[in-house]
Amino acid sequence: MNKRKTILVFIDWFLPGTNAGGPVRSVYSMVKILKADYDFKLFTRNTDHNSTKPYEGIKPDSWVNFDEGIEVYYCSEKNLTKQTIKATIESVNADSIYINSFYSPWFSIYPLQIIKKLKLQEKVVLAPRGMLGKGALAIKSFKKKLFIRLAKFKGLHIGITWQASSENEKKDIEAVFGRFVKIKVAGNLSYIEQLPFHKRNKQVGELRLFFLSRIVPIKNLHAALDALGKVDPSKNVVFDIYGPLEEEAYWQKCQVIIAQLPSNIVVSYKGVITNEKTQLTLQNYHALYMPTLNENFGHSILESFAAGCLVVISDQTPWNNLQTMNIGYNAKVYEKSAEEELLMAINALLNLNEHDFNTFGLKAWTFAHFYGANNQNLQLNKTLFNT
């Protein structure tokens, strides 16, 4: 019998944390689905994103049994050192090392430096999680360009394998690091406990929208709010915002726009939804409204489909041609027509009656169901570790 391979994963934050968004969902889904074939050991912090409070009931600085085939080392702040990282790499002696970040000092840069000294680069799979996309590189571009230049000079990423979640992300990686780096395309796995399809009440001229993501500039919440201000005053829109307030200055900018919206647009901030409550919560809405400037995958988009919701998103995600499938709309967010396209999508949803909405909602629910059953994507993910 062949020995099960061990995969060591470096990730800044992991469950039970809720503030770090999609990357946590991506890694959780990957290890949850692939644990039937591999043993996973995750090295992470013992605090949530933007928090210094340790997780309750979890012993830090030791391996904790998270699930069958999954162990997690919740590292405390005082113990997060290069020596700890080196000792972890050497003691685990993994068959593959999966790095879930590009810029993180403690969970990408320092591990790569140590791995290079130990000459283990061929074991590394690095998932940049959309951080090399055009939209992502445009934010704080000077610092990012400086780091990339220095990383190339130091040869930090030489010999590793890159995971691209799509052909578009493969092109993004090649645009930064050249055409001859080793890249494997494997779409993100998604572990969603999908509920039965739930019909909604839907009146023409009324719409319940939600936003589900971190509150940061790249998610383009301000543009979503601006477009809502142009909705016909005779039509009513409820827009609920879910997600961690990651950048206070940006949220204040959004609040200024919210305060100026007409009375037919009701916007509320609802805080963070826990993973286990997401599907049930989304069944109260008609559509996700999130014209993000860049999205490597977009777990909130797939979660929305799985809940039977339509989506209004940008053209900067892997989820395109939605209107053709009658499950949503893509707006060209880098074009001058972006606001007009968002408004057209909202108006189209406003004009749907209950029968038509539920017909399209069932299509979205079915789309998510078949995505989860995609065996080809499962096999592609396995190739990441079958070297």
> Which pLDDT tens digit goes with each residue over 294-342?
888 888 999 999 999 999 999 998 899 999 999 999 999 999 999 999 9
d(CA 172, CA 148): 13
Q: Is the pLDDT of residue 284 over 70?
A: yes
| Fold type of domain 5-191 | Rossmann fold (3.40.50)
* Strand ranges of the sheet holding 161-164, from the earlier edge strand across to the other edge: 63-67, 70-75, 38-45, 5-10, 96-99, 124-126, 161-164, 182-185
pLDDT at 276: 84
d(CA 381, CA 126): 13
Pairing state of beta strands 70-75 and 38-45?
Answer: parallel
pLDDT tens profile 219-266: 999 999 999 999 999 999 999 999 999 899 999 999 999 999 999 999
d(CA 325, CA 331): 15
User: 222 CB contacts (<8 Å, ≥6 apart)?
Assistant: 250, 253, 254, 257
Cis before 233? omega within 30: no
Are 5-191 and 206-372 equal in CATH topology?
A: yes
**Tokens 């998932």 -> residue:** 127
d(CA 75, CA 69): 19
- Asked if residues 200 and 364 have their Cβ atoms less than 8 Å apart, the reply is no
pTM as predicted: 0.83
d(CA 356, CA 352): 6
C-alpha angle 316-318-323 in degrees, rounded to nearest 5 = 85
SS3 readout for the chain = CCCCEEEEEECCCCCCCCCCCHHHHHHHHHHHHHCCCEEEEEEEECECCCCCCECCCCCCCCEEEEECCEEEEEECCCCCCHHHHHHHHHHHCCCEEEECCCCCHHHHHHHHHHHHHCCCHHHEEECCCCCCCHHHHHCCHHHHHHHHHHHHHHCCCCCCEEEECCHHHHHHHHHHHCCCCEEEECCCCCCCCCCCCCCCCCCCCEEEEEEECCCCHHHCHHHHHHHHCCCCCCCEEEEEEECCCCCHHHHHHHHHHHHCCCCCEEEEEEECCCHHHHHHHHCCCCEEEECCCCCCCCHHHHHHHHCCCEEEEECCCCCCCHHHHCCEEEECCCCCCHHHHHHHHHHHHHCCCHHHHHHHHHHHHHHHHHHHCCHHHHHHHHHCCCC
Looking at per-residue confidence, does 147 or 374 come out higher? 147
Above pLDDT 90, what percent of the chain? 82
Would you state the structure tokens that stand for residue 236, as one six-digit string?
């009513």
pLDDT band of residue 2 (cuts 50, 70, 90) is low
pLDDT at 130: 84
pLDDT tens profile 11-70: 999 999 888 877 888 899 999 999 999 999 999 999 999 899 999 999 999 999 999 999
Domain boundaries, the chain: 5-191, 206-372
Pick the CATH number of 206-372 from 3.40.50.2000, 1.10.3720.10, 3.30.365.10, 3.40.50.300: 3.40.50.2000
